[in-house]
Amino acid sequence: MENIIIIGTGCAGFTAAIYTGRANLAPLILSGDQPGGQLTTTTEVENFPGFPKGIMGPDLMMNMQAQAERFGARIEYTRVESVEKSPAGHFVIRSQDGQVREAKAVIVATGASPRHLGLPNEKALIGHGLTSCATCDGAFYRDVPVCVIGGGDSACEEANFLTRFASTVYLIHRRDSLRASKIMAERALANPKIKPIWDSTVVEYLTDEKGEMRAVTLENLKTGQRSELELKCVFVAIGHVPNAGFLGELVARDENGYILQEGGTRTRTEGLFAAGDVADHVYRQAITAAGQGCAAALEAERYLADIGHGS
């Protein structure tokens, strides 16, 4: 029986591992499908405190992993398929590798996956002119045209943010009115650098000889007409999907599937804590996820002390 199993290896999961490792709890981390989490899909991270010259996303995650391992954390590479609480009060965790593990406490830090359009070369273009994070990547696209796909608050927020850098921000939406809140929509539409393209969707990404984004093929969904639009980066903002489905009834969720925390990082199941983007659709930053990972570790530590984890 493990003291604690941490599910997820993004900023929240590794930070929780560093703290629980230093508390001598010998945490076991289960990696998930994307070891290192969302930051492994980005290039330079300029806004994580402590790195005045920036740091590459994958390097930051490898550093976090090494720091967690230094304090006794172990990592196993598998995807968790279900978590149940036994009548005796401990957790039973089943994973893709067929193993069944048990733990006295669990921290869920499985993040959220950006929703994509599902076009054929989409995955290969991530980091090469396709991203879901304007805060992370916007500054790389100065004085060039870019687009944002989506019509919600995220799309409007990202489009506004990108006008600091880009020459033009096309806002491509599949309908003729935005889903975003009135204030966000009005702000976006009033910005002279933002050019909305209504009733349209991207049906093809076009690349240059280096494999970088060069243009997109647009389709007008009302007329069926196709056209090419030159740009250097596509920011996909059609929502995120929190990776919380495997928890069944152990957690309460909001209408978008994000785990509802009940005071700090506690969930409605005692001994089960949630940290980072799986429970946060507001901030979604590496540093806020790391902060929640720390909080979850401290709360789990207290929980284990209360139930007498040595027994």
Within 10 angstroms of residue 193's Cβ, the number of other Cβ atoms is 15
Does residue 11 have an active-site annotation?
Answer: no
- Residue 240: φ, ψ to 5°: -120, 155
DSSP 158-179: HHHHHTTT-SEEEEE-SSSS--
Q: How far is the CB of 61 from ligand NAP (least distance, A)?
A: 24
Closest CB to ligand NAP among residues 82, 201: 201
Within 10 angstroms of residue 182's Cβ, the number of other Cβ atoms is 8
Show the tokens assigned to 120. Answer: 């054929």
Closest CB to ligand NAP among residues 79, 179: 179
Closest CB to ligand NAP among residues 140, 198: 198
| Contacts of residue 250, Cβ cutoff 8 Å, sequence gap at least 6 | 83, 84, 85, 267, 268, 269, 272
Q: Which residues does residue 204 pair with via DSSP β-bridges, in sequence order?
A: 217
Q: How far is the CB of 19 from ligand NAP (least distance, A)?
A: 28
Closest CB to ligand NAP among residues 241, 294: 241
- Give residues in contact with ligand NAP (CB under 6 A): 117, 149-155, 157, 174-175, 179, 201, 237-239, 256, 281
Alpha helices in 98-148 (DSSP H): 122-125, 134-137
Closest-by-Cβ residue to ligand NAP is: 152
Closest CB to ligand NAP among residues 230, 254: 254
Alpha helices in 119-206 (DSSP H): 122-125, 134-137, 153-162, 182-190
Does residue 233 have an active-site annotation?
Answer: no
Q: Which amino acid is residue 87, in one-letter code? A: P
Q: How far apart are CA 292 and CA 2, in angstroms?
A: 22
Closest CB to ligand NAP among residues 14, 170: 170
Q: Which of 11, 33, 136, 147 is catalytic?
A: 136
Under DSSP, the state recorded for 180 is S
Q: Which of 11, 133, 147, 156 is catalytic?
A: 133
Q: How far is the CB of 238 from ligand NAP (least distance, A)?
A: 4
Q: Which residues does residue 7 pair with via DSSP β-bridges, in sequence order?
A: 30, 108
Q: How far is the CB of 74 from ligand NAP (least distance, A)?
A: 35
135 φ/ψ sector (left φ>0, alpha ψ -120 to 50, else beta): alpha
Q: Which of 11, 59, 97, 137 is catalytic?
A: 137
Q: How far is the CB of 147 from ligand NAP (least distance, A)?
A: 12
Closest CB to ligand NAP among residues 24, 227: 227
SS3 label, residue 125: helix
Q: How far is the CB of 266 from ligand NAP (least distance, A)?
A: 22
Q: How far apart are CA 3 and CA 8, in angstroms?
A: 16
Q: How far apart are CA 43 and CA 20, in angstroms?
A: 29
Q: How far is the CB of 286 from ligand NAP (least distance, A)?
A: 17
From the CA atom positions of the chain, what is the Rg in Å? 21
Does residue 137 have an active-site annotation?
Answer: yes
Which residues are known to be catalytic?
A: 133, 136-137
